[in-house]
Amino acid sequence: MQNGTRLVLVGGGGHALVVWDAAVRAGWSVSGFLDDGEHARLTEPPAGLTRLGTLEGPAGDAWIICVGDLGVRRSWLDRRGSAGAARVVHPSAVVGSGALIGVGAFLGAGAVVQAAARVGPHAIVNTGAIVEHECEVGENAHLAPGSVLGGRVVIGADALVGMGARILPGVRVGRGCVVGAGAVVVRH
């Protein structure tokens, strides 16, 4: 429990398991998860992690979106806003000097956010992803496991950078863009 607040996971799929593990390791007390069943994969959730209701249900004291689908995430954010959103940072993640991590953001195991980088609200920097110096990751953007952003890269809101993709220094990826797994992006 951080600051006496219990955390609710919004979503019940595989990403929720990853966020749950990170949250528990970071000292959060997790109340349970919300899911509408459409994306739920937690048919046998870990001990102590229970379904609290649908995505329309109450979010609790603090919450974090744990749905990988950016459209579902955006819809939930548009309805609910950011009030009560919590950031979850896995203890093995590295956050450099002067880096800013937005409300509701998630940094997975082994994620690296270097000096002077900015990770926007509700963004995902997943397992082993690297955000180099002075990068900007937009609101609700998702950096999949193993993706790498060179220095001064800008990722727009609601964009997805696939597993193992590489974005070369100084490149901009626009709002809502999808970069495929393993891609190397050399220009805007």
Which residue out of 39, 133, 142, 188 is catalytically annotated?
Answer: 133
- Residue 182's region, left for phi above 0, alpha for psi from -120 to 50, else beta, is left
Residue 78 phi/psi, 5-degree rounding, is: -65, -35
- 83, 21, 8: which is closest to 47 by C-alpha? 21
Q: Please, what is the Cα angle at 105 between 116 and 74, to 5 degrees?
A: 120
Alpha-carbon gap, residue 102 to 20, rounded angstroms: 19
Per DSSP, the three-state class of 99 is: coil
Would residue 90 show up in a list of annotated catalytic residues for this protein? no
User: What are the catalytic residues?
Assistant: 133
